[in-house]
Chain A
Amino acid sequence: ASFLKKLHKTTQARSFSNGGGGGSKGDSFLLPGATVATLLMLGALHVRRMYDDRKVEEAQEKGTEFEFQPDVKSTFLRLLPLRSISRCWGLLTSVEIPVSLRPYVYGAWARAFNSNLEEAAFPLDEYASLREFFVRTLKEGSRPIDPDPQCLVSPVDGTVLRFGELRGAGAMIEQVKGFSYSAFSLLGASSFLPLIAKGDVNEESSEPENASREKSKKSWLRVSLASPKVRDPVSACPMKGLFYCVIYLKPGDYHRIHAPADWNVLVRRHFSGRLLPVNERATRTIRNLYVENERVVLEGLWKEGFMALAAVGATNIGSIELSIEPELRTNQARKKLLHSEPPEDRIYEPDGIGRTLKKGDEVAAFNMG
């Protein structure tokens, strides 16, 4: 209010010095008025956003689950050139920061997004740009890997959004209450996801244990080796013991991906899709979020059977870099307007073994832009 009063006095004084004409008075109010209005609007939007986020957090603490609810903002997002914005953001954050400013810039980032700077492998002034700092490695021993051979470890630092067992036709993964997507649309139609035809399910469960186990193994092999065209993912059900886990990485999190178990990666699939944001709000409002976004899927075998990991990009974290295939480039300029291009596949040699990873080995990293 005091700022507005001061502004009013200043503009009045200016208009008197200009002869007090009505048109002159209007002009002098135009620019500061618009600036103040914009600032007020941005402030109001920010306060409202904070209020909404707080309400969501409180409701989640009470156990309330939000249902899928598309809105105008999510429709509007699809119209924006998010890939170009992401690439510009990447260029901007690649700009070298003066050495003296680096600790302040990275410190501010860490405060804003709750990053632990003590874990960074190198002193802050050694990271030339925000992009380099963002994808920083950690000090040796910062992430001890659970040595239990009968456990599957987290591949990333993040927040568990969803997890569960894939059951029923089509192997649907719940994005949010009220909306699900099929595992096939996430991993690709040519995925080796072990599914069995609906009719086989009851037949299998009525057999003795040993026979059932043997049949399960054979069935998996048959399904894995069969051409994807002969299977119908919609009418098929997941073989028993097929699970999923969705983990969201906040901007302040460590952004490198590690192997969740000893794993032979056989296939890499790159989907060049959209780059919609993937925050909590986006999961509730944008349909097919993970299925439409650019992603890299690694698929292979571990000692218990099938394992696939999908690294899904977002507007700010647009590109994915693979340690096992450094030449792969993602978030490239689009040649076609269509967002539904088929994925680009690569089968890792040698055939049947692929790339061997040990539990905890680094697999990939998310980059800014």
Chain B
Amino acid sequence: STVVLVFQAPISLSQENRDSSSEFRFSVQRGDRVRVGEALGRWQDQ
């Protein structure tokens, strides 16, 4: 079984024109084992 999560998250407006500008950052890597409740990603206050 698989779960796919699709969501909006904050981005840095001042960097909108650049690539990889997202303020939201995934804190996991491909292949990582994760458990319920562990952070997938975080963002900062603007």
Could you say which of B9, B14, B29, B34 contacts A243, with CB atoms under 8 Å apart?
A: B9
- Chain A neighbourhood of B44, CB < 8 A: 150
- Partner of A154 from B8, B40, B43 at Cβ < 8 Å: B40
Instruction: Judge if A310 is at the interface, Cβ distance under 8 Å.
Output: yes
Q: Counting CB contacts under 8 A, is A178 at the interface?
A: no
> Which A residues lie within 8 Å of B14 (CB)?
209
Task: Tell me, rounded to whole Å, the shortest Cβ–Cβ distance linking B20 to chain A.
Answer: 8
Q: Is the CB of A240 within 8 A of B1?
A: no
Cβ-defined contact, B2 with A152, below 8 A: no
Taking residues whose C-beta sits less than 8 angstroms from the other chain, chain B's interface range is: 35 or more
Docked complex Cα distance between A178 and B34 (Å): 26
- Closest Cβ neighbor of B16 among chain A residues: A205
Mark interface residues in A122-165 (1 if CB within 8 Å of B CB, else 0).
Answer: 00000000000000000000011110101111111111111101
Using an 8 Å CB-CB cutoff, how does the interface string of A179-221 with B read, 1 for contact, 0 for none? 0000100110000011000000000010001001100000010
> Chain A: residues with CB nearer than 8 A to chain B?
60, 143-146, 148, 150-163, 165-166, 173, 183, 186-187, 193-194, 205, 209, 212-213, 220, 239-249, 254-258, 260, 278, 290, 302, 304-314, 317, 360, 366
Contact yes or no, B2 A249, CB < 8 A: yes
Closest 6 CB pairs of A and B: A305-B8, A241-B11, A145-B37, A317-B1, A154-B34, A151-B39
Inter-subunit contact A243/B7 (CB<8 Å): yes
For A212, give its contact among B2, B6, B16, B45 (CB under 8 Å): B16
Asked whether A240 and B3 contact (CB < 8 A) given A152-B41, A155-B36, A157-B34, the answer is no
Sample (21) of A-B pairs whose CB atoms are under 8 Å apart: A144-B37, A146-B38, A150-B42, A150-B44, A152-B9, A155-B3, A158-B34, A209-B13, A209-B14, A212-B13, A241-B9, A241-B22, A242-B8, A243-B6, A246-B2, A246-B3, A246-B5, A278-B2, A305-B8, A310-B6, A314-B2
